[in-house]
A and B are shown apart, each in its own frame.
Chain A
Amino acid sequence: MAVLLDVVSWLLLSLGGAFVFIGGVGALRMPDLYTRMHAASLTDTMGAGLIIAGIMLQAGASLASIKLAMILLFLLLTSPTATNALASAALLAGMRPGEAIPWRQESRE
């Protein structure tokens, strides 16, 4: 039983790490600010969720699991809000979706 728990939590942690990596690659390769934010949001939802689920399996049924569940809930509430606020701020600053600016050029504006 313990071995099964270990294997499943290994799987969840690796999948979470893979999603974080995909999110990072997406944030670098996407053409536009809005698409980049969409790619980065993968990190906060799938990545964080799977990693926390993997750690919760390791912690077992204890206070630590409840705290981890609260952390996940907090993350799921705040990171989409932060993305929304960022996108609103970008729209307010005048960036239209679809204007593809390569990230190397942005620092020269």
Chain B
Amino acid sequence: MALLGLYHYWVFAVLLMIGFYAVIAKLNLIKKLIGLSLFQSAVFLLYITMGKVDGGTAPIFQAGLENQTFSNPLPQVLILTAIVVGISTTALGLGIVVRIKEEYGSIEEHEIQEIDRR
């Protein structure tokens, strides 16, 4: 059982690092943005995993049932906000990428730096 919980956290670490690798090692700007959203999703997984309670259910009161065990609602609230903020920053980032393409003619990082150096 302990191994199952640890598996959740290890998958979080792996996903975090896959997203991070895409941000630092890939040269295409859109690939970097996709990697950033992978990174964010891994953090969401961590928080929601921490919120789970054994034998609990979704934190919604059912009519007529007494003494229900709920999973923690607080991480869910935080992650709801985080998902929407994530999509907002992704949209803004994509707008910047489109403008970069129009100004520089390319969205590869090394080509952009080459043009800047000239």
| Direct interface between A and B, CB < 8 A | no
